[in-house]
């Protein structure tokens, strides 16, 4: 839970910025950036985890810098699990947020400009509130994905109870020991419940956005 | 604002592969109509006055303030121009109530000493009963009245209206035209009004800039320009 929450919350501002950039700006190499950000969605999770290990591990070029600067280690710690979950859930969040930015009528932003709102105010008073349902959908999807993340997490930070163990890796552990079936089943049911709630909430929010888009016509 | 003449001076040149806009005109009128067929460049001129579009070259002066001057490299961004813009389809903020919508511009210009009075505007435009409602629940005519109130409450130096009646039926058009006349006469904000309908020009404007295919065909008092 903590792992998924931190992973999602840390990823959110990055996703907001990236989504805004992809929805609004034109820049060279946009397709490549877009593709790169969506890679975790299509790559085998183990590959993503392995590359995280290479870059953010103790000896990895980013991992070393961050340890020197902030004293945060990722490898085999819960922070690493959060990072892995965040990276894996990121594309889902990015997609939802980007779509909601693209759905906003840009003339509303121009209207805000003629009323005296500078671009920052316009973003916070007009763009962001209108994109809010999409942002929430993105956060929920990312959170659900992060809760279920297995491959990248286990590759990057292993499966240490109380530190880097997530629900799926705990289920996996229980199925590997004799007599663990009931525990595994219990966790699986919890997992299904969380996923269902997340999907229902995101669907309800999605319908609200549809209604809002209809208003623009 | 008085004594600064002319009130509005526009000279812009914009070249595109399929269209050239090259216009120059001045006006001191309370309501200047930019009159011409669809696609003649009227709305483009209005967007340039508002700073939403940037001309390739030109100079735009409103009430003594230079808003655009490509030679002097001046381009004031839209939010500092003090222009009120009434869009063809109102463009109210759907996530805000009517009251929040009309106070949006007022809040950003709250330092204004000669701010137009909210109560009087709400009263003249007859939107007092709508204040708690959301734009989605308003009719077309109501939306236009709210959009007009919102633009006025930002205390603009000039009010720009882009075919504000195009989406309305005849009864609503006549009603809103009456309101525009009252706004013109009671709040002393000069108006630039884009339209392709001759009846609107005749009823509202004292000065007409007639535009065709990106060029000014005639400038003058309404009676002169409209007589054949």
Q: Tell me, what CATH number does A136's domain have?
A: 1.10.3720.10
When scoring B82, B108, B135 by the number of chain A Cβ atoms within 10 A, the one with the most, hence best to mutate, is B108
Of chain B, the end-to-end C-alpha distance in Å amounts to: 35
Token pair 């349902």 is found at A133
Nearest Cα to B83, choosing from B138, B14, B29, B7?
B7
pLDDT at position B2 is 45
Q: Is residue A60 part of a domain?
A: no
The enclosing H or E element of B98 equals helix B98-108
pLDDT at position A3 is 66
Q: Cβ–Cβ of A107/B91 closer than 8 Å?
A: yes
Mean pLDDT split into 10-residue runs, chain B, 228 residues: 68 87 89 90 91 90 88 89 89 88 86 80 88 88 90 90 86 87 87 91 90 88 77
DSSP-assigned beta bridge partners for residue B74 = B69
Which of B79, B93, B95 comes nearest A113 by C-beta? B79
Per DSSP, A164 falls in state T
d(C-alpha A57, C-alpha A83), whole Å = 11
pLDDT band at residue A5 under the 50/70/90 scheme:
low
pLDDT at residue A216 above 60? no
Q: Is B157 helix (H, G, I), strand (E, B) or coil?
A: coil
CA–CA min distance B63, chain A (Å): 17
Q: Cβ–Cβ of B154/A115 closer than 8 Å?
A: yes
Q: Is residue A65 part of a domain?
A: no
**pLDDT, tens only, A76-119:** 777 778 888 888 888 888 888 888 888 888 889 888 988 888 88
Note which residues in 191-210 of chain B have CB less than 8 A from chain A: none
Closest CA in chain B for residue A106: B91
pLDDT at position B169 is 84
Do residues B48 and B60 lie in contact, with contact meaning Cβ atoms separated by under 8 Å?
yes
Which of A108, A118, A126 comes nearest B79 by C-beta? A118
Closest CA in chain B for residue A121: B108
Task: Show the DSSP H helices in chain A as ranges.
Answer: 2-24, 30-42, 45-56, 61-70, 78-102, 106-114, 119-122, 128-148, 151-157, 167-176, 181-216
d(C-alpha A143, C-alpha A4), whole Å = 6
d(C-alpha B47, C-alpha B53), whole Å = 5
Token pair 């990015």 is found at A94
| CA distances to A18, A154, B10, B24 from B217, in Å | 48, 74, 15, 11
pLDDT at residue A217 above 50? no
Q: Is residue A57 part of a domain?
A: no
Q: Cβ–Cβ of B108/A129 closer than 8 Å?
A: no
pLDDT at residue A32 above 70? yes
Domain around A13: 2-46+77-216
Q: Is residue A70 part of a domain?
A: no
d(C-alpha B147, C-alpha A111), whole Å = 10
**pLDDT, tens only, A124-176:** 888 888 888 888 888 888 888 887 777 777 777 777 777 777 788 888 888 88
Q: Which residues of A touch B108 (CB under 8 A)?
A: 115-117, 121
HEC string of A50-105 equals HHHHHHHCCCCHHHHHHHHHHCCCCCCCHHHHHHHHHHHHHHHHHHHHHHHHHCCC
Q: Is residue A175 part of a domain?
A: yes
pLDDT at position A168 is 81
Which of B52, B82, B154 comes nearest A110 by C-beta? B52
Q: What is the mean pLDDT of residues A11-38?
A: 75
Q: What is the mean pLDDT of residues A195-215?
A: 72
pLDDT at position B34 is 92
pLDDT at position B3 is 47
CB atoms within 10 A of CB A195: 14
Domains and CATH numbers, chain B: 8-226 (3.40.50.300)
pLDDT band at residue A201 under the 50/70/90 scheme:
confident
Q: Global pTM?
A: 0.77
Q: Is residue A68 part of a domain?
A: no
Please tell me if residue B219 touches chain A, with a CB cutoff of 8 Å.
no
pLDDT band at residue A2 under the 50/70/90 scheme:
low
Q: Cβ–Cβ of B109/A116 closer than 8 Å?
A: yes
Please tell me if residue B25 touches chain A, with a CB cutoff of 8 Å.
no
pLDDT at position A1 is 58
Q: Edge-to-edge, what's the strand order for the sheet holding B8-16?
A: B74-75, B65-69, B57-62, B8-16, B19-27, B215-221, B207-212, B31-35, B191-195, B158-162, B83-86
Please tell me if residue A186 touches chain B, with a CB cutoff of 8 Å.
no
Q: Is B197 helix (H, G, I), strand (E, B) or coil?
A: coil
Count of domains for chain A: 1
Q: Is residue A67 part of a domain?
A: no
């Amino acid at each position: 839970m903590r792992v998924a929450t931190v992973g999602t919350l840390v990823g959110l501002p990055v996703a907001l910025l990236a989504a805004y950039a992809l929805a609004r700006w034109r820049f060279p190499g946009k397709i490549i950036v877009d593709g790169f950000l969506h890679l975790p969605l299509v790559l085998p999770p183990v590959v993503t985890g392995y590359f995280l290990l290479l870059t953010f591990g103790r000896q990895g070029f980013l991992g070393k810098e961050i340890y020197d600067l902030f004293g945060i280690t990722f490898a085999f710690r819960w922070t690493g699990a959060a990072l892995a979950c965040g990276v894996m859930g990121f594309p889902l969040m990015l997609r939802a947020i980007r779509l909601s930015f693209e759905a906003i009528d840009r003339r509303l932003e121009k209207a805000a400009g003629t009323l005296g709102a500078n671009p920052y105010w316009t973003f916070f008073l007009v763009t962001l509130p209108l994109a809010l349902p999409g942002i929430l959908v993105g956060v929920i999807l990312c959170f659900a994905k992060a809760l279920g993340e297995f491959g990248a997490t286990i590759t990057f930070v292993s499966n240490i109870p109380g530190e880097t163990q997530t629900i799926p890796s705990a289920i996996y552990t229980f199925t590997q020991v004799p007599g663990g079936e009931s525990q595994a089943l219990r966790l699986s049911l919890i997992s299904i419940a969380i996923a269902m709630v997340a999907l229902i909430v995101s669907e309800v929010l999605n319908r609200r956005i549809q209604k809002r888009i209809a208003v623009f016509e | 604002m008085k004594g600064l003449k002319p009130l509005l001076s526009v000279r812009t040149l914009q070249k595109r592969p399929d269209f050239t806009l090259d216009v120059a005109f001045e006006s001191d009128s309370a309501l200047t109509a930019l009159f011409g067929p669809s696609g003649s460049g009227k709305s483009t001129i209005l967007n340039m006055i508002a700073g939403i579009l940037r001309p390739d070259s030109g100079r735009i002066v409103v009430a003594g303030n230079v808003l655009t001057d490509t030679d002097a490299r001046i381009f004031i961004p839209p939010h500092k121009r003090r222009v009120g813009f009434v869009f063809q389809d109102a463009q109210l903020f759907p996530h805000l109530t009517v009251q929040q919508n009309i106070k949006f511009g007022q809040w950003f210009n709250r330092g204004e000493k000669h701010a137009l009075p909210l109560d009087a505007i709400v009263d003249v435009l007859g939107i007092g009963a709508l204040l708690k409602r959301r734009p989605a629940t308003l009719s077309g005519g109501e939306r236009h009245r709210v959009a007009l109130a919102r633009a006025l409450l930002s205390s603009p130096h000039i009010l720009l209206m882009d075919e504000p009646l195009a989406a309305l039926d005849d009864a609503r058009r006549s009603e809103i035209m009456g309101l525009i006349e009252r706004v013109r006469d009671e709040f002393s904000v000069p108006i630039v009004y884009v339209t392709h309908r001759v009846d609107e020009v005749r009823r509202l404007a004292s000065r007409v800039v007639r535009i065709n295919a990106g060029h000014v065909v005639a400038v003058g008092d309404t009676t002169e320009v409209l007589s054949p």
